[in-house]
Amino acid sequence: MRTLIIGDVVGKPGRKAVQQLLPSLRVDYLLDFVVCNGENAAHGAGITPETAQELISAGVDVITTGNHVWAQKEIIPHLNGPLPILRPLNYPPGAPGRGFIITEKAIVINLMGRTFIGNYDCPFRGIDQLLPQLTERHLPIIVDFHAEATSEKIAMGRYLDGRVSAVLGTHTHVATTDLTILPMGTAYMTDIGMVGPIDSIIGNDVESVINGFLTRLPHRITVAKGRTGLSAVLVEIDETTLKSTRVERVYREVD
């Protein structure tokens, strides 16, 4: 099984890049399944039903999110609906939406870290409670771990090694160089990177971000423009053992 996991999509430039590139990527790599983090898809923060549908129409099978999932309030009623959108599993009980989805081809789980990012329920204990419920489903399990600290992400990868097919990090928008298959067969990368403007600061306008650091004054951050890069990871999974057998970083650029 060939799965593509796409990093954080930033605003309209990111959505356009997915729309332009994903159809050909599905053909070129003979993809069976596509996961995409869409928590910044709408104006750089949050996701709406319309922006989610743009990604789905482009060929995305499941959309994951993170700490910005609530930024666009109109998405909240849809989180319990038919759209294949996840919010992190380790939000407290009673939060709208779901933290995992079972499809015909794979199970996708969305987790969120706590170090430097927020006070949520424990992601380690949360997935420990979930995994026994999935043992009868002989399907690859793909985890999007949306977290800030590299140590927390690496810890999760090692913790789940051999228990899931892949643990791929999102949130920082900066791709790391540690793509690997861990000893027990779990594909791992600390951060996939983003789908966003290259001439930017993690997808946002350079001048506005620097001005914020210099002045510390409240200011509006806008999504940058220009040439856009798409960062993703290709994972090949043995459908008998559910172990990852090959990983490859995928990177493309569009105007």
Which residues on neighbouring strands pair with residue 3, listed in sequence order? 33, 235
Decide: 4 and 233 in contact? Cβ < 8 Å. yes
List the catalytic residues.
68
Distance in angstroms (rounded) separating the CA atoms of residues 171 and 46: 13
By DSSP bridging, strand 33-37 and strand 2-6 are parallel
Distance in angstroms (rounded) separating the CA atoms of residues 157 and 54: 31
Distance in angstroms (rounded) separating the CA atoms of residues 187 and 174: 18
Beta strands in the chain (DSSP E): 2-6, 8-9, 33-37, 62-64, 100-102, 107-112, 141-146, 166-170, 180-181, 187-189, 194-197, 228-237, 244-254
Which 3 state secondary structure label does DSSP give 50? helix
Tokens 């709208």, residue located: 96
Q: Which two tokens stand for residue 241?
A: 């053992």
Q: Which two tokens stand for residue 216?
A: 């510390």
